[in-house]
């Protein structure tokens, strides 16, 4: 489901709106995912604390959100732009791609909480398509 | 049988005690039809679904969203036997309405997002966990009688 011009406009629009809070949103989304979908904690057995608001969650949430922000600038060629991240996820992290969808849902919930007026159904649609395409690009090198 | 902690029961009861069915129900269904347009296949007789504005302002869709949300009431009243509480509704959705059960999951996700928009920071991770567990159980029960 590729992005049309309207989707791209909505995505850059919402991202510029939320970018100043991106680290906080990332931490919130990641913390929620680990709480609401406990099976995702299996990837973080090396963290002392996987609870929302903990230091590793805050740090890693910010990392993830910054990478997504970077992907927004590479929207026209996600596969090319994310190839090294894809290699990382394929060969080192080996995160089951089903989890990308789970994180995406929690990103939607978090943005809806923080920016209810801006997260309209059309923005939700565009962002969902973008995150799905991002997930596909991230899984590109898996097999 | 699903096991609910006391905390989960309280959290879920609190959501329903403060739920604005008219607002949340209508918004959740409209959002589902917009974000996942293939779900419109079940709403051929519901008038203008041509674009997001039309869907958001469609009175038939609003009314139906409220009706669907009230469909959750029977789960709240039968927390310890949700599977059987939804047996007839499950048959209805399978045999008469022919709804792909994956749609229940899509609508659940939209419902969670609409509630998150309304509650803001009050929609804590624990509340989200309890709420989504509740919806997962209902969705499973609704798909149970398909064959």
Helix (H) or strand (E) holding A142: none
How many Cα atoms within 13 Å fall on the side-chain side of residue B101?
18
Give the domains, in start order, of chain A with CATH numbers. 5-139 (1.10.490.10)
**Model's pTM, two decimal places?**
0.93
Say which of B52, B113, B125 has its CB closest to residue A122: B52
Say which of B30, B119, B126 has its CB closest to residue A121: B30
- Which residues of chain B lie closer than 8 angstroms to A31, CB-CB? 125
- Which residues of chain A lie closer than 8 angstroms to B114, CB-CB? 112
**Could you list the pLDDT tens digit for every one of the 147 residues in chain B?**
799 999 999 999 999 999 999 999 999 999 999 999 999 999 999 999 999 999 999 999 999 999 999 999 999 999 999 999 999 999 999 999 999 999 999 999 999 999 999 999 999 999 999 999 999 999 999 999 988
Dihedrals φ, ψ of A2, to 5°?
-80, 160
Q: Supply the ipTM of this predicted assembly.
A: 0.88
State the Cα–Cα distance between residues A130 and A115, nearest whole angstrom.
Answer: 18
Which residue, among A63, A85, A67, A65, has the nearest Cα to A137 in the 3D structure?
A85
């Amino acid at each position: 489901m590729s992005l049309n011009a309207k989707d791209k406009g909505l995505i850059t629009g919402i991202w510029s709106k939320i970018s100043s809070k991106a680290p906080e949103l990332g931490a919130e989304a990641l913390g929620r995912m680990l709480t609401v979908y406990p099976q995702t904690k299996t990837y973080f057995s090396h963290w002392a604390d996987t609870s929302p608001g903990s230091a590793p969650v805050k740090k890693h949430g910010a990392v993830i959100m910054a990478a997504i922000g970077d992907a927004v600038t590479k929207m026209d060629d996600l596969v090319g732009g994310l190839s090294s991240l894809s290699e990382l996820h394929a060969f080192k992290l080996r995160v089951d791609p089903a989890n990308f969808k789970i994180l995406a849902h929690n990103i939607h919930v978090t943005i809806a909480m923080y920016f209810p007026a801006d997260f309209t159904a059309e923005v939700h649609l565009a962002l969902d398509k973008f995150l799905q395409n991002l997930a596909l690009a991230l899984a590109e090198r898996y097999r | 049988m699903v096991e609910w902690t006391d905390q989960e029961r309280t959290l879920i009861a609190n959501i329903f005690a403060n739920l604005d069915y008219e607002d949340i129900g209508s918004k959740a269904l409209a959002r589902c039809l917009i974000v996942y347009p293939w779900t419109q296949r079940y709403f051929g007789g519901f008038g203008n679904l041509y674009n997001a504005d039309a869907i958001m302002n469609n009175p038939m869709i609003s009314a139906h969203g409220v009706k669907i949300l009230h469909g959750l009431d029977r789960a709240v009243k039968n927390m310890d036997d949700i599977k059987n509480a939804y047996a007839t509704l499950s048959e209805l959705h399978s045999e008469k309405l022919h709804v792909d059960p994956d749609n229940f999951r899509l609508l659940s996700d939209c419902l969670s997002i609409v509630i998150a928009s309304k509650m803001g920071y009050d929609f804590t991770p624990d509340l989200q966990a309890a709420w989504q567990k509740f919806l997962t159980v209902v969705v499973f029960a609704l798909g149970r009688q398909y064959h």
